[in-house]
Amino acid sequence: MNTKTTLMKLPGLADVHVHLRVPGGEHKEDYRTGSAAALAGGFTTLMAMPNTNPAITTADGWQAAQRQAAKESLCDVALFMGVSMSSIDNLPELGKYAPALKLYMDLTFGDLRIEGMENLERIAELWPRDKVLALHAEGESVRTGLVLAEKFHRRMHFCHISRKDEIEWIAEAKGRGLPVTCEVTPHHLFLTDADAKHLGSLGDMRPRLASQNDVDALWSHINTTIDCVASDHAPHTLAEKQASQNSPPGVPGLESTLPLLLNAAAEERISYDRIVTLLSTNPRRIYSLPEQPDTWVEIDPDEIYEFPDHELYTKCSWSPFSGTPIKGRILRVVLRGKEVIRNGKVHDYDR
Ligand SMILES: [Zn+2]
């Protein structure tokens, strides 16, 4: 391997949008399986979402989950705080704990959906200014989020932006100097609503897959407006996804994100430097994530294979990208000086 002149070294990557399903959904994923999937995909830092069961909206709930994450995870995991209609007044206190708040404006389940401009303004006002407020906002809600960012002069991060008009609104807001950032997902970069037809429920997530026109718009902003790529890893079991009724939205993504981007780099649709910016530099800066010394990912940019090249580590064990031809393989991940994965095998890990 050392004789290869093409070997490439990336810093440890950070995925700032994953669902690790703890507590309450451990049959879909847990900290151990989710973090093993992260390492297999080149990620050494994760930020996990609070829409668990119960949702994480209290200091006690957050601390218990964060303790468990630290104990069971194979990589670094930081947890978002969530907010429900009844916990808004507690935000200044909750801000002492979590590094960021996730606010659901659209299309979510359970009690995390916040409605009404008055409540949204209270949240934008009460969550500490030096911490990120991350939004699940789609369509017109993106515009509402931009109004809030402007009115309260606060940092706002837009999750999984997927439509042409949304990315153009954010570009315009950045042009006016608003302190906003955004992420896009690999499924919105590499799949369209045409794929949704043949994938069926395995291609169903929120936001839904979009038109080729939307996908093209995202790619045209990949070197400018888009700050991060985040997987929105949202595992459900195959049985749940294939149920005839109420199949839950969401797809896994931790193990496919970097291979898809490496392949895009091999096709010269994006540079390797930009991949590092989108998957490491920017997410670490936006969320003030701690540095990980002696941590890196080794890749062979020239190796060709069909994804996945190993049995997936995510507990749900399927991917909407199965069978995709990829050029660019993850060879090895070193975390704080210790090799944690080589050739698709996580060390000291029994399935
Ligand atoms: Zn999500």
Contact 27, 303 (CB under 8 A): no
Distance from Cα 185 to the centre of ligand 1, integer Å: 10
Enter the DSSP assignment of 263: H
What is the distance between the alpha carbons of residues 52 and 268, in angstroms, rounded to a whole number?
Answer: 38
Contact 265, 226 (CB under 8 A): no
Contact 49, 16 (CB under 8 A): no
**Sequence letter at residue 280:** S
pLDDT recorded at residue 106: 78
* Coil vs helix vs strand at 230: coil
Quick: pLDDT tens for 101-131: 999 997 666 678 888 999 999 999 999 999 9
**Sequence letter at residue 105:** M
Distance from Cα 152 to the centre of ligand 1, integer Å: 25
What is the distance between the alpha carbons of residues 23 and 50, in angstroms, rounded to a whole number?
Answer: 9
What is the distance between the alpha carbons of residues 283 and 286, in angstroms, rounded to a whole number?
Answer: 5
How many CB atoms are closer than 10 A to CB 314?
Answer: 23
* Coil vs helix vs strand at 327: strand
Distance from Cα 232 to the centre of ligand 1, integer Å: 5
Question: pTM score, two decimals?
Answer: 0.96
Distance from Cα 204 to the centre of ligand 1, integer Å: 13
What is the distance between the alpha carbons of residues 40 and 174, in angstroms, rounded to a whole number?
Answer: 34
Distance from Cα 302 to the centre of ligand 1, integer Å: 32
Distance from Cα 271 to the centre of ligand 1, integer Å: 26
Q: Position of tokens 């969530």?
A: 82
pLDDT recorded at residue 107: 64
Edge-to-edge order in the sheet of strand 43-48: 13-18, 43-48, 76-79
**Sequence letter at residue 232:** D
pLDDT means per 10 residues in the chain (351 residues)?
72 98 98 98 98 96 98 98 96 96 81 89 96 96 97 96 98 98 98 96 97 98 98 98 94 98 98 98 97 97 96 98 98 98 93 82
pLDDT recorded at residue 3: 52
* Coil vs helix vs strand at 236: coil
What is the distance between the alpha carbons of residues 185 and 221, in angstroms, rounded to a whole number?
Answer: 13
Distance from Cα 135 to the centre of ligand 1, integer Å: 10
pLDDT recorded at residue 277: 98
Edge-to-edge order in the sheet of strand 156-158: 81-82, 100-104, 132-136, 156-158, 180-184, 228-229
Q: Position of tokens 């507590």?
A: 23
Ligand 1 ion: nearby residues, β-carbon < 5 Å: 232
Residue 124 structure tokens: 């934008």
Distance from Cα 4 to the centre of ligand 1, integer Å: 38
Residues 6+ apart with CB under 8 A from 198: none
What is the distance between the alpha carbons of residues 342 and 339, in angstroms, rounded to a whole number?
Answer: 7
Distance from Cα 111 to the centre of ligand 1, integer Å: 15
What is the distance between the alpha carbons of residues 258 and 330, in angstroms, rounded to a whole number?
Answer: 8
Distance from Cα 19 to the centre of ligand 1, integer Å: 6
Mean per-residue pLDDT of the chain? 96
**Sequence letter at residue 24:** G
**Sequence letter at residue 303:** E
pLDDT recorded at residue 108: 61
